[in-house]
């Protein structure tokens, strides 16, 4: 404590400084390492290079597009999950909420025989409402978000299966591909476009657009400032006038929005929805956010880190297939990556914040 860095005024403190006292900036390398996305960027680059060497078929444009597509479906959800984590909370219901949203849009449109856009809008409202409910319950009861969203997770999982069975007498919804508005919705949520002879899925574009938007919001707006503050120290934030309740509830609603978007993608690319899916995905999203440099306890992280985190997941997932290995190894590989990334993050933060 006595070796404090920048001392206040006259009493000279140890360390290089001029009379101005402004020179003791930490070295560039240290300041770079303090950025949450640097560790994961190096990790993603390493995994990428590794598979370029180990699996020659990865080098084609087509397989790169597949890797990016795989990454985008994880990355689209990892973004809001990461923002929520920076805000200090979890959402364990994120995985099944995707399916809930898709089921709602699909069954509502089919059963009422209306334009699919009606189902899409109702699904959006429902997804936002689920997010708001999670946030409101957490704020009102003061329970940890882990518990509240574990409850929502189980509820949604049961409702998905039971209601689908009740309505369609099946475990999946009916094919809606011949309904009004399907083509239109598909263009937005699940189309592909041509880049130099390679078909790239539109979710890749959405993923990068949302990542840019999230980065801007996080670093350049008041709301972003509040997200860091409520995750870093909720009571201090409240004491200086940050609307903590509003910030937390809207973060949960952002996860709801993400779940809706990914749900719509799944519905319009596969035409039907399996009601039992989505379980376990929430942990993949959380892992991508953590690998992306977001602090599990909140208050630190970035939106661009989870982009690289999701890319690592997509790369490993597809890379194992291209390398011709047994895909059963995927989860084991992920576990090792997660631990490795956590250790790197820990080391980086200690080095960077040391006085």
Partner 1 sequence: MADKGTGTADAVRPETPPGDGGAALVELRGAGKSYGNVRALHDVSLAVRPGRVTCVLGDNGAGKSTLIKIISGLHQHSEGELLVDGTAVRFSTPREALARGIATVYQDLATVPLMPVWRNFFLGSEMTRGPWPVRRLDIARMKRTADDELRNMGIVLDDLDRPIGTLSGGQRQSVAIARAVHFGARVLILDEPTAALGVKQSGVVLKYMAAARDRGLGVIFITHNPHHAYMVGDHFSVLRLGTLELSADRGEIGLEELTDHMAGGVELAALKHELAQVRGVDVQRLPEAEDLGSSAPASPEEAS
Name the residues that contact partner 1, by CB under 8 A.
1-2, 4-6, 8-9, 11, 17, 20-26, 216, 220-222, 224-225, 228-229, 232-233, 235-237, 239-242, 295, 299-300, 353, 355
Q: How far is the CB of 230 from partner 1 (least distance, A)?
A: 9
Nearest CB to partner 1, comparing residues 7 and 65: 7
Q: How far is the CB of 10 from partner 1 (least distance, A)?
A: 9
Q: How far is the CB of 242 from partner 1 (least distance, A)?
A: 5
Q: How far is the CB of 221 from partner 1 (least distance, A)?
A: 6
Nearest CB to partner 1, comparing residues 5 and 56: 5
Other Cβ atoms within 10 Å of 86 Cβ, number: 26
Q: How far is the CB of 47 from partner 1 (least distance, A)?
A: 28
Nearest CB to partner 1, comparing residues 18 and 326: 18
Nearest CB to partner 1, comparing residues 25 and 178: 25
């Amino acid at each position: 404590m006595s070796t404090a860095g920048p001392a206040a005024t006259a009493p000279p403190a140890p360390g290089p400084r001029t009379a101005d006292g402004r020179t003791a900036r930490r070295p560039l390398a240290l300041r770079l390492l303090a950025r949450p996305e640097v560790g994961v960027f190096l990790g993603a680059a390493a995994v990428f290079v590794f598979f370029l060497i180990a699996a020659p078929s990865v080098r084609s444009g087509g397989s790169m597009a597949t890797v990016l597509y795989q990454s985008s479906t994880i990355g689209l959800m990892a973004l809001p999950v990461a923002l929520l984590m920076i805000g200090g909370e979890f959402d364990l219901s994120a995985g099944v909420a995707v399916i809930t949203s898709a089921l709602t849009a699909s069954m509502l449109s089919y059963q009422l025989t209306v334009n699919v856009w009606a189902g899409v809008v109702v699904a959006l409202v429902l997804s936002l409402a689920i997010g708001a409910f999670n946030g409101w319950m957490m704020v009102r009861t003061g329970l940890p978000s882990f518990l509240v969203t574990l409850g929502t997770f189980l509820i949604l999982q049961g409702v998905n299966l039971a209601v689908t069975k009740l309505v369609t007498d099946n475990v999946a919804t009916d094919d809606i591909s011949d309904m009004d508005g399907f083509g239109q919705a598909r263009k937005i949520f699940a189309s592909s476009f041509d880049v130099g002879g390679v078909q790239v899925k539109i979710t890749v574009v959405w993923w990068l657009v949302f990542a840019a938007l999230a980065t801007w919001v996080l670093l350049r707006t008041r709301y972003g400032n509040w997200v860091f503050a409520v995750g870093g120290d909720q009571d201090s934030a409240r004491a200086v006038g940050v609307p903590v309740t509003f910030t937390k509830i809207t973060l949960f609603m952002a996860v709801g929005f993400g779940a809706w978007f990914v749900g719509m993608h799944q519905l319009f690319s596969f035409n039907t929805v399996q009601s039992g899916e989505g379980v376990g995905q929430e942990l993949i999203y959380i892992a991508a956010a953590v690998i992306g440099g977001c602090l599990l306890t909140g208050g630190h992280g970035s939106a661009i880190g989870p982009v690289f985190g999701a890319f690592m997941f997509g790369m490993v997932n597809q890379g194992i297939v291209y390398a011709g290995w047994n895909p059963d190894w995927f989860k084991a590989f992920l576990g090792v990556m997660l631990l490795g990334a956590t250790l790197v993050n820990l080391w980086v933060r200690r080095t960077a914040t040391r006085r």
